[in-house]
Structure 1
Amino acid sequence: MTLSGTLVPRVESQLAFRVPGRVVARLVDAGDTVASGQALARLDETPFQLAVQEAAADLAQAQATLARVGRDVERNRPLAQSGAIARATLDALQTQQTQMQEQVQAAHSRLAQARNDLTYTTLTAPGGGTIALVQADAGQVVAAGTPVLRLARTGETEIEVNVPESRIGQIRKEQTAKVRLLSLPDVELAARVREIASVADAQTRTYPVRLSLPEPPAAARLGMTASVRFDALSGDTALRLPITALFQQGEKPAVWILPTDAQHLQLRPVTLAAMGTHDIILKDGITPGERVVVAGVHRLDSTMPVQAWDGRLP
């Protein structure tokens, strides 16, 4: 079986600012190679610098107030002990001192957060890779968490193939394949199935399959088209049934089997390899040649006497 695929990175990251703001500079373009920690884009720092200054002023004021209250406590302590002032006066000052200590702590936290927010105005690469997509530009106002760049991380390259539901039963994890890039038709590469989607794409009704490509040629570029020829699975046959044959045994899939030498049904647990709009493909649970009920399965039970119907009317 030969299908068309696309060269993709195994890991792709959506990059976003942690704080909202106006983009003032984009420092990379699509296709640029970047290193870990490299600056990629910047927001307007002005409001964040003002926030740092305001938080620093609040902290200084809180610390000054705490120092004044502390002096008042120390000055009034001996007076309260000698009875020159009421004990309640000292208690009130100590309560105020405790409150100011809490305010100083809170001001420290606000200043630390403001400084962090200021550093977040520069978006840096979390690792080495290639800029795959630019999603924001200078002058644009972005919310925190809104993707502005997509980074294809340096590392293993893969081939993504969209397999029709009529053929997904022929694919298994760890299955080997031969790959030829359209731009390098004379170079054959070895690949291995790493991941098989369990649900079909809602639009294309195909199953995305990822194949590891451990040694791509130096001339290979992300997005290149590839021809993928899957090696045959020895001794493996895909078992396909109408979706109407599927019965849920609790939370597990099952099918009703009519053994050749019996007149009662048996409910057999099965493992699904894939599920399409009209068909299911079984990974295991039944063997070729067994008789399976394909309609009315939810009206059956194992005590009902049944017989196989050859399709002819009496």
Structure 2
Amino acid sequence: MKRLLVVLAGMMLLACSKEEPAPEIVRPVLSITVQALDEQNLGRFAGSIQARYESNIGFRVPGRIASRSVDVGAEVDKGALLATLDPTDQQNQLRSAEGDLASVQAQLINAQASARRQQQLFDRGVGSQAQLDSALTDLKTTQASLDQAKAAVSQARDQLNYVELRADHKAVVTAWSAEAGQVVTAGQQVVTLAQPDIKEAVIDLPDTLIDQLPADVVFQVASQLNPNIATTAIVREIEPQAESATRTRRARLTLTETPPAFRLGTAISVTLSSAIKPRIELPLSALQEVDGKNRVWIIDAQTQTVSPRDVSIVSRTQTTVVLANDIKAGERVVSAGVNSLKPGQKVKVDEGNPQ
């Protein structure tokens, strides 16, 4: 009986010592849903909203700036006073011209009287033809001098009016190039006025990129403060010569629409893109190299298992890889953790990734 109990106990111990099957390992992975890209991003560049039409204006006469009436950013109407010069010189010129006019007017009265006397003497037969001709010549010369003196007075009055610099159209003051107390020459740039009605986007593009821009390039213009405020644009002009220091060329873009938030000086970002044949782009971390072949891991949505698939690479960068038509849009691919997978293995998809 004892021997039987010993045998039974040994059998029970042997049964308990058998190894239970190991639980199936479920590996957590990061994944993405494949999307076909149908446009190529050519870069993003910073720029600003500027007026299409700007004018640099200055005084029409030389002098010392006595006052400035507006500051940068001010909106001015047509005829608004912007700045004034010290009018002393122009006032003195006007007084001098008016004095010359009065003198010539007095000379004209004498010339007219002399011509009348000589005509009377000649008519009575006591005056000579030479004296009459001389008097008439003096009269014509004095009349010409009077016309010249009147023109000088008119010009002096205009010069006095030119000491006031006024806006010739409704505009926004964007820059001052001279300050009060500064002496300026006639025509020297003093202030820049921008017409706010027509605006455009201005960016600096690399010289090498401009030569490679496709004909169907699209410019997406968005506010840097609020990217939801956006529109498209087309190229109006590109400077023909690159800036020597930066090797960039300034491009001016005509906006398709001008949102109210696009005020003069608004900082913008411009994204360049062009249509391309649909392609698949994945992060480089999704690629696995095995025995000289490239492959990715496809996730079965129903079984939550993975299977490898060989792929052909079209191009790659430091962070992404472009594939041929080996994967379809909508399939889910492991984007990180590929080196620890094996065919048919169950995985746990990170719920935080885009579906």
Moved more, 213-222 or 147-156: 213-222
Q: CA deviation at 1:87?
A: 1.2
- 1:63 is the counterpart of 2:85: no
**Which of 84, 87, 90 is the aligned partner of 2:129?**
87
How far apart, in 1, do the equivalents of 2:148 and 2:118 lie? 27
Q: 2:169 aligns with which of 124, 127, 146?
A: 127
What is the CA deviation profile of residues 27-71 of structure 1, one whole-angstrom value per residue up to 9, with x for unaligned ones? 001111111110000111222122212211211221221122012
Specify the alignment match of 1:13 in structure 2: 55
Q: Structure 2: any 5+ residue segments left out of the alignment?
A: 1-41, 278-355
The answer to whether the Cα contact below 8 Å between 2:79 and 2:166 also exists between their aligned partners in 1 is: yes
C-alpha contact 1:178 1:189 (8 A) present in aligned 2: yes
Q: Does structure 2 retain, via aligned residues, the 8 Å contact 1:31–1:132? A: yes
2:89 maps to amino acid = P
For 1:107, the equivalent position in structure 2 comes to 149
User: 1:201/1:66 Cα in 2 relative to 1: closer, same or farther (>3 Å)?
Assistant: same
Deviation at 1:225, TM superposition (A): 2.4
Q: 1:92 to 1:59 in 2, by over 3 A?
A: same
Structure 1 residue aligned with 2:76? 34
TM-score (norm 1): 0.69
**How many pairs are equivalent?**
235
After superposition, give the CA deviation of every residue in 1:213-250 in whole Å (9 maximum; x if it has no partner): 25333233323322112342789xxxxxxxxxxxxxxx
Q: Is the Cα contact below 8 Å between 1:172 and 1:193 reproduced in 2?
A: no
Q: Normalising by the residue count of structure 2, what TM-score does the alignment of the two structures yield?
A: 0.62
- Provide the C-alpha distance between the structure 2 equivalents of 1:172 and 1:37, rounded to a whole number of angstroms: 46
Q: Secondary structure at the match of 2:236?
A: strand
Residue 222 of structure 2 is aligned to residue 180 of structure 1: yes
Larger Rg: 2
Structure 1 residue 178: Cα displacement: 1.2
SS state of the match for residue 200, structure 1?
coil
Structure-1 residue corresponding to 2:322 = none
Q: Secondary structure at the match of 2:127?
A: coil
Residue 243 of structure 2 is aligned to residue 201 of structure 1: yes
Alignment of 1:1-314 (within 5 A): 1=42, 2-171=44-213, 176-213=218-255, 215-232=257-274
Contact 1:173 1:195 in 2 (8 A): no
What amino acid sits opposite 2:121 in the alignment? L
CA RMSD, aligned part only?
2.1
Question: Are the aligned partners of 1:173 and 1:193 in contact in 2 as well (CA < 8 Å)?
Answer: no
Q: Which residue is equivalent to 1:265? A: none
Identity %: 35
User: How far 1:203 moved relative to its partner?
Assistant: 3.0
Q: Distance in 2 between matches of 1:214 and 1:17?
A: 37
